[in-house]
Amino acid sequence: MEIMQTSDRTHMMIDLHVHTKLSGDGRSTREKLAVAAASRGLDAIVLTDHGDCAVCSPERLGDVWLLPGYECSTDAGHILGLFLDRVPDLARLRAKGPVPAAEAVAAMRECGGVTVLAHPFSGKKYRAEAPVDCIETVNARACFKNPNANIQAERLAISLGLPQTGGSDAHSASEVGNAYTVIEAPDCSLPALREAVLNGRCSAVFIKNTPRRKKGLSQFRDALNSRKPRRIFMGIAYIGYCIMLDIFCRGGNLPPATGSET
């Protein structure tokens, strides 16, 4: 894929939701993720690990920018902080149990972050509204439990009048770019990207849903990290279950609703 050029702006293609090995179920290093992103024509990826920030400032690896982000578990679901200027108070955000959504949003905005409600319907039931800047309406893993997750997220974004973003939610290099966001910005600098997204100059792009077996493999890595035999055995069984779903449940491979880019 080539970078599209307009008369005065460039359309940057960025996967806004990517996990490294810093997430307990992440399977790839940032170096491998960067190589995968470059091979798929992306300009950048945002590293949004659960437990830590993989980069503290924009970093160039080969032909791709690695941009700072974070994914926080809250009482309204998972919230992404994109394009962070500095690392938020991770001890507070990693406190036991989901933190209040408003608190997570405030913490990430204090660090320059654009906040995104990630895959709000991936668990079939939308939990609560959150005071975010954007809604993730295309997520390549959101279909695992709810085939209509992206359709419902798109409807939510339209009803709230919020910008729509897309991300692969990759937990391995092979998943990078399965979904991404086109941002109308002159470059990949944090201020330019922030301004463009907050003003709605972005669109979510769907390429394909991630196979369920990829989730099985990432869950298995998390089980291995626990070093608990029962969890490891359950992780192996879950991989088999995911493979069976890939074979027999083709509905999860459907694209998002008409109106989203494909």
Distance CA 83, CA 194 (A): 7
Q: Work out the angle at residue 47's Cα, subtended by the Cα atoms of residues 9 and 115, and round it to the nearest 5 degrees.
A: 70
Contacts of 194 (CB under 8 A, 6+ apart): 83, 112, 114
Letter string b/e over residues 194-231, b meaning 16 or more CB atoms within 10 A of that residue's CB: bbbbeeebbbbbbbebbbbbbbbbbbbbbbeeeeeeeb
Chain segment 212-221, per-residue pLDDT in tens: 877 767 765 6
For residue 25, what pLDDT is reported?
Answer: 78
For residue 126, what pLDDT is reported?
Answer: 67
Average per-residue pLDDT for the chain: 86
More confident residue, 251 or 12: 12
Q: Is the pLDDT of residue 194 over 50?
A: yes
Contacts of 156 (CB under 8 A, 6+ apart): 120, 121, 126, 135, 137
Would you state the structure tokens that stand for residue 91, as one six-digit string?
């001890």
Q: Residue 262: what residue type?
A: T
Chain segment 29-41, per-residue pLDDT in tens: 999 999 999 999 9
Question: Which residues are bridge partners to 219 per DSSP?
Answer: none
Chain segment 110-150, per-residue pLDDT in tens: 999 999 999 999 876 666 678 999 999 999 999 888 999 99
Q: Is the pLDDT of residue 260 over 60?
A: no
Q: Hey, what domains does the chain have and what are their CATH numbers?
A: 4-209 (3.20.20.140), 213-250 (no CATH)
124 in Cβ contact with 144 (< 8 Å):
no
Distance CA 166, CA 140 (A): 8
Which of 34-43, 223-232, 247-256 has the lowest average pLDDT?
247-256
Instruction: Please report, to the nearest 10 degrees, the dihedral formed by the alpha carbons of residues 182, 1, 171, 252 taken in order.
Output: 80
55 in Cβ contact with 25 (< 8 Å):
no
Strands 64-74 and 44-47: parallel
Would you state the structure tokens that stand for residue 134, as one six-digit string?
């954007």
